[in-house]
Chains A and B, each alone.
Chain A
Amino acid sequence: MPDKNRDTDFTYRLWRYDGAPGELIPLLQSAQDHFGYIPRRAIKYISTVTNIPESNIYGVITFYNQFRLQPMGEHQIKLCVGTACHVSRSKLLVETVQDELGIEVGGTTEDGIFTLFTVACLGCCSLAPVMMIDEETHGRLTPASVRKILRGIRRQAKQKNQDAQLRAS
């Protein structure tokens, strides 16, 4: 493991845990970074090392919006439903994404390409309505532009998977 990742690396953090209070949330955050979500076994590891009962850890996980107990899709859509976006009809965009992908908020598409979340504010209110897909922000959206963006990403993802399969065979 390269040194620069050490502070957030899950196994390193677990190993380094010295009983200092307040480490549960950072441990969960690095578990999620490591696995992409928080699997059952990560909860067990953390419980063993910290002596915090699994049920308490589960309680903390479900209290905060950031933590996921299910694996997420390849691309994460964060659709902003903050006040400025709401005023700019972001509800319409939620409906559009749901219709285009056939999933509910929090759900993942069958092909594992997309997971849809809504977030309270991405802080680019002057570009409202906005969504973020992975690290990229898309602003001033309309139902038509949302569909176009999603179809583009899906095409690329499928192409990539096909290429990978071809190489493997």
Chain B
Amino acid sequence: MRQVIVGMGTCGLSAGARETYNTLKDLLPDGSAGVAAAALSITGCIGMCYREPLVEVREDGRRTIYGEVKPDRAREIVEHHVLGGRVLDDYVVFSEDASGQTGGSEKDFLALQKRIVLRNCGFIDPESIAEYEAVGGYQALRKALFEMTPASIIEEVKQSGLRGRGGAGFPTGLKWGFAAGYKGERKYVVCNADEGDPGAFMDRSVLESDPHAVLEGMIICSRAIGASQGYIYCRAEYPLAIKRLTTAIAAARKAGYLGKNILGSGLDFDIKIKQGAGAFVCGEETALFASIEGERGMPRIRPPFPAEKGLWKMPTNNNNVETYANIPWILVHGAPAYAAYGTEKSRGTKVFALAGTVVRGGLAEVPMGTTINQLVFGIGGGIKDGKKFKAVQMGGPSGGCIPHTLGETPVDFENIPRTGAIMGSGGLIVMDETTCIVDIARFFLNFTQDESCGKCTFCRIGSLRMLEILERITSGEGRLEDVDKLKVLSERIKEASLCALGQTAPNPVLTSLRYFMDEVLVHINDKKCPAKVCGALVDYVIDPAKCTGCTLCAKACASNAITGKVKEVHVIDHALCIKCGKCITSCTFGAVYKD
């Protein structure tokens, strides 16, 4: 019996997995003659986003994963492998046989990884509770209900050394202990699935690929702290994640894992999904509570902390998706097994969304303490198009750019903050020499300025002033005193903002000033952008080798700066050019570039 499994996470679907699935469905109709030897099913994210759509053929303990499976390739795979039994080696990205021997062109991508959170992602059908149970799902819950006390669960989580995976890294066991300690009429377990960092999609993949792991983690937490109601606050922009969570919650209720008297243990707990309406600040826990309560998502002053007065002023425990997904594994395998991975103060593993100008972009889970270079080169396969590695951006709008010279820095909660960036939720954007650091700082500040809720003056107005200065610098009107102004504003905003959004908003600017001062000064003094990004500081040039003389750019040009005859190479007169960029957007051949 061969199983054919299509990766149907958002990345896969974007790359065309639906079409692939439909093709396979036509070729392998259920139970029809000739194909009794094959069954078609779906799975979530395998992690190799850069080779999607991915299709796996599973037989007798052997896994073969094919990459870039468009309908044509799907037909070949059915004909030769599924029906014929012959593996098509050229298309194999990863394979593993029963003895654990691995192969395939992309086996390095998985070699450095240790998959705990992603243990089932890309392996089971996320819409089937039976498949989750078949890989040991809900065993941890049974253990928590019948073999452990709330105190011993909390102790186990403490011993594992697990720290909050949302970014701040607060010890999870300690947090649970606080929430357990406070008394309240009701208590809540909240799961923060409002993954708002641009460039981070770890939580979405977990929700889409293994929703039951998150539910199980939350139910265990409810037992530990004595809560009766759970909420998952999920971005409305993640429709597939919401759909799969809804399916999973319904299945869990039916199976007796949610609702009244769970598995006959006497525990009552249920989970509701709340859709976020799109506000980055709602990733901050007190703003998130305000949003669940139906208000504008504005942070509140702490203390009192959520453990004492959280959602609807009741004791609340709030963790993010990845944190909860770790819990079942820890309870089944024991705290020492989890603590064996990682570094002394940062135990376990962390999932990263590897993106940017890296060869192998995707989802990777590595032990804490893995170095930046190992992530970029070992797993990521280095920089695209043979360009030079410049920096990685970690922590999104709250983090910063770490230069390539610090590539040996271990990624954990101790070493990353020392660089001025933060661990963040796991977005890791790789940048090459064609990325302008000043432009990136401006980009992030534009984001936080836009997303500032407006409560604190320093965050609301200070970030706008910083943005204005950066816009000045990137448009060639920067002044030397701007650097000091940025530093002063950064200090003030950090000191006088209530929540992490404001307190960390200046980080991208501060790391740029710390590591890339030369580049900033070239913008200010020489009015040049070394990476050729900032539009006002470059010249627009037509590549004679690519220009076909179609005249489109000349027609689009607002200042008549482009001359040339039909079917002859066109030229831009720099004296007339106003650098509006219309020539680039109008060119069909990619012949116009910035120099």
Contact = CB atoms under 8 A, between A and B. Distances in A.
Interface in A1-36: 21-26, 28-29
B382 interface: no
A56 to B, nearest CB: 9
A32 to B, nearest CB: 9
Contacts of B236: 29, 66
A120 B292 CA distance: 22
Interface stretch (B117-125, B219-227, B273-281, B336-344): B273-281
A63 B279 contact: yes
A82 B361 CA distance: 15
Contacts of A95: 581-582, 585
23 contacts: A21-B312, A22-B274, A25-B291, A28-B277, A29-B236, A60-B294, A64-B279, A64-B297, A65-B277, A65-B279, A67-B277, A83-B199, A84-B355, A88-B357, A95-B581, A99-B585, A119-B237, A121-B200, A125-B355, A126-B50, A127-B49, A137-B13, A144-B590
Contacts of A82: 198-199
A86 B582 contact: no
B420 interface: no
B557 interface: no
Nearest to B358: A126
Contacts of B238: 123
A130 B14 contact: yes
B586 A121 contact: no
Nearest to B588: A144
Interface stretch (B299-307, B427-435, B563-571): B427-435
A73 interface: no
Interface in A57-106: 59-60, 63-67, 81-84, 86-88, 92, 95-96, 99
A25 B293 CA distance: 9
B376 interface: no
A123 B278 CA distance: 15
Contact of A21 (B275, B277, B293): B293
A121 B451 CA distance: 14
Contact of A59 (B50, B296, B589): B296
A60 B50 contact: no
Interface of B: 10-11, 13-15, 49-50, 52, 196-201, 204, 236-238, 274-275, 277-280, 291-297, 312, 353, 355-357, 361-362, 393, 396, 427, 429, 431, 435, 440, 443, 447, 453, 556, 581-582, 584-590
A143 interface: yes
B355 A126 contact: yes
Nearest to B454: A63
B204 A123 contact: yes
Nearest to A89: B533
Nearest to B238: A123
Nearest to B312: A21
B590 to A, nearest CB: 6
Interface of A: 21-26, 28-29, 59-60, 63-67, 81-84, 86-88, 92, 95-96, 99, 119-128, 130, 137, 139, 142-144, 147
A3 to B, nearest CB: 15
B296 A63 contact: yes
A120 B196 contact: yes
Pairs A-B, 5 closest by C-beta atoms: A125-B355, A65-B278, A82-B198, A123-B201, A83-B199
B50 to A, nearest CB: 5
A21 B236 CA distance: 20
A127 B15 contact: yes
A22 B586 contact: no
A124 B295 CA distance: 31
Given A23-B294, A66-B278, A126-B50, 8 more contacts: A25-B291, A26-B275, A60-B296, A87-B431, A120-B280, A123-B201, A125-B356, A143-B585
A124 B50 CA distance: 10
A83 B440 CA distance: 8
Nearest to B50: A126
Given A22-B294, A83-B356, A64 B10 contact: no
A142 B297 CA distance: 37
Given A24-B294, A63-B279, A83 B429 contact: yes
B293 A87 contact: no
A29 B236 CA distance: 9
Given A60-B295, A60-B296, A83-B355, A124 B11 contact: yes
A28 B236 CA distance: 13
Contact of B362 (A22, A126, A128, A130): A126
Contacts of B296: 59-60, 63
A121 B204 CA distance: 12
Nearest to A124: B14
Contact of A84 (B204, B429, B447, B586): B429
A84 to B, nearest CB: 4
B355 A128 contact: yes
Of A86, A122, A124, A125, chain B has the most CB atoms within 10 Å of the CB of A125
A31 B427 CA distance: 34
Given A21-B294, A83-B427, A126-B362, A121 B197 contact: yes
Contacts of B396: 83
